[in-house]
Amino acid sequence: MPEGITAECLMENIMEKISDNLPKQKNASFFEDDKSNSMSTQFNRLFGRQKPVHHLLGGGKSADVLLWRDKKISASCLTGATVVWVLFEWLNYNFLTLLSLAIAIGMVAQFAWKTASGMLNRSPSEVPHLVLPEHVFINIGKLVGVEVNRGLNFLQDVACGGNVKQLLGVVLSLWAVAIIGSWCNLLTVVYIGFVAAHTLPVLYERYENEVDGFVSNALDQFQHNYRKLDARVLSRIPTGKFRGKKFE
């Protein structure tokens, strides 16, 4: 009897283990498939992003404007930039000329309004004094200074780091910027960037799956060609260790 009870217990334990392990294996494979799918989806996202486009753009009012959450404000910003670009680029107006004309027109309009209100026995309009807060200029100056110093530190690190591949990439990028600068002036470049900032994010948010797939394929092809170039040319370039003096 003890042997029979032991055998029955063993059989029951074996059956319980088999019945318990089967669903676990299925669940495990199911979760592994989900995990692999999520990993592939994450890899295919542009630049490996994990957050929505609105969050990447800051998630505030600026992101709402760039993604056309408020169409009136976004259209007004884009229209204003287009008007400024047309005035300076197509009509060849000067900034100082436009500023002087705007101030003169404003002063004449205010003088005419006060004169007309006095003749019609109306109280003259009170003009508020325009005072720009000083902290705005201080914050802008600090922000510009921080970004300029960051850019200079990056260029110096690339120049003194001894990484030929990184140096070659930066030089080619600056060469491309120089070519673009020969085609158009700074105002046109800024306007193109402004228009791109108001069109590309909203288009990407609408067609992100198609764009992510295209960019992923393009990056794979670029990496394949770069590995060939690295194996044939770049890997044979001798690299030296440059010890530059670090500036704090």
- Residues 215, 205, single domain; the answer is yes
153 lies in some domain: yes
**Confidence band for 175, pLDDT divided at 50, 70 and 90:** very high
140 lies in some domain: yes
**Confidence band for 34, pLDDT divided at 50, 70 and 90:** very low
- Residues 142, 172, single domain; the answer is yes
The total number of structural domains that make up the chain: 2
- Residues 189, 162, single domain; the answer is no
Q: Which of 52, 56, 44, 50 is nearest to 219 (CA)?
A: 44
CA 205 to mean position of chain CA atoms: 13
Instruction: Tell me the average pLDDT of the chain.
Output: 75
- Residues 190, 230, single domain; the answer is yes
Higher pLDDT, 46 or 67: 67
Query: Is it the case that residue 33 has pLDDT exceeding 60?
Result: no
Residue type at 29 in one-letter notation: S
**Confidence band for 12, pLDDT divided at 50, 70 and 90:** low
- Residues 230, 190, single domain; the answer is yes
97 lies in some domain: no
pLDDT at residue 64 in the model:
80
- Structural domain that includes position 171: 135-183
Which residue is it, tokens 């100082």?
96
Task: Please state, in angstroms and as integers, the Cα–Cα distance from residue 111 to each residue in 104, 120, 169, following that order.
Answer: 11, 14, 59
139 lies in some domain: yes
Neighbours of 66 (CB within 10 A): 21
**Confidence band for 14, pLDDT divided at 50, 70 and 90:** low
pLDDT at residue 79 in the model:
93
189-202 confidence digits (pLDDT tens): 889 889 998 898 88
156 lies in some domain: yes
> Which one of 166, 183, 200 terminates a domain?
183
- Residues 177, 192, single domain; the answer is no
Distance CA 208, CA 210 (A): 6
219 lies in some domain: yes
122-164 confidence digits (pLDDT tens): 666 666 677 888 888 898 899 889 989 999 999 999 888 878 8
- Residues 193, 210, single domain; the answer is yes
> Which one of 164, 183, 202 terminates a domain?
183
- Residues 207, 218, single domain; the answer is yes
